Amino acid sequence: MDFPQFENKTGITFKDKNLLKQAFLHRSYLNENKGLKMDHNERLEFLGDAVLELVVTEYLYSKYPKKPEGDLTSYRAALVNTSTLSAVATELSMNDYLLLSKGEAKDTGRARQYILANTFESFVGALYLDQGYEQAKDFIAQNLFPLTDEIVEKGLWQDAKSRLQEIAQEKENTTPQYKTVQEIGPDHEKNFIVGVYLSDMEIAKGEGKSKQEAEQEAAQKALEARNWS
């Protein structure tokens, strides 16, 4: 992988090149390259998630001094969810540098979105370790903060399940029901597929790393299927 090219693209040069490589190293890659003396990126992801949440929370707290906690929490969730982070990671061409198993490399669907979102968090964690909080904050500010106004103005932060329930009760006098239809993957990396039903009719399915995330995606797809979005 040509990681110097990625450094040129981001304008960030790592002191510890192994730390940069580790940020892109998926667990599956090590299963096929057991001689590689490196760890996968999940610990970096754990760290980066915490840094990301603090930076975004601080930003929103300052940007919206009169907004209540509930709104700020929703804005933050929209900024750091899988769809947003994977889209930003794609813009940064992170997909071109992923170190994946041959099997994972073939999957370009929802599973790849999760990997890209996790890699974004891993990169933030690696950057924090390599160059400190301020550099990590600058990177997040440059790539995430510009999305905030659109998310707020278009209502993209609103809870899809709540909107679906409100509209379904108003238009069809029914309450959406959710059912887990499938669980995919090992326990440490499980994905859930959930169906949403109106009057016992399946309207849409969603997928997520938790049942709650899958339900949110299912609700959003149901809103779109009913032209209620």
Among the options 121, 130, 213, 215, which is catalytic? Answer: 121
User: Whole-angstrom Cα distance, residue 140 to residue 129?
Assistant: 15
Question: Tokens 């309207």 sit at which residue?
Answer: 203
What are the start-end ranges of the H helices in the chain? 3-10, 17-23, 27-32, 42-63, 69-79, 82-91, 102-106, 110-131, 133-143, 148-153, 160-172, 211-225
Q: What is the pTM of this model?
A: 0.76
Quick one: pLDDT at residue 44?
98
CATH of 160-225, one of 3.30.565.10, 3.30.160.20, 3.40.50.720, 2.60.120.1140: 3.30.160.20
96 counts as catalytic: no
121 counts as catalytic: yes
Helix, strand or coil for residue 36? coil
pLDDT digits (tens, 9 = 90+) for 163-181: 899 899 999 999 999 999 9
User: Whole-angstrom Cα distance, residue 102 to residue 223?
Assistant: 36
Q: Which two structure tokens, joined as six digits, stand for 128?
A: 């924090």
User: Whole-angstrom Cα distance, residue 104 to residue 100?
Assistant: 6
Q: Which amino acid is at 136?
A: A
Q: What angle do CA 152, 86, 151 make, to 5 degrees?
A: 5
Domain layout of the chain by residue ranges: 3-153, 160-225
Question: Residue 52 in contact with residue 122, Cβ under 8 Å?
Answer: no
The CATH number assigned to the domain with range 3-153 reads 1.10.1520.10
pLDDT digits (tens, 9 = 90+) for 130-144: 999 999 999 999 999
More confident residue, 71 or 155: 71
**What is the pLDDT confidence band of residue 114, given thresholds at 50, 70 and 90?**
confident
Among the options 49, 104, 213, 217, which is catalytic? Answer: 49
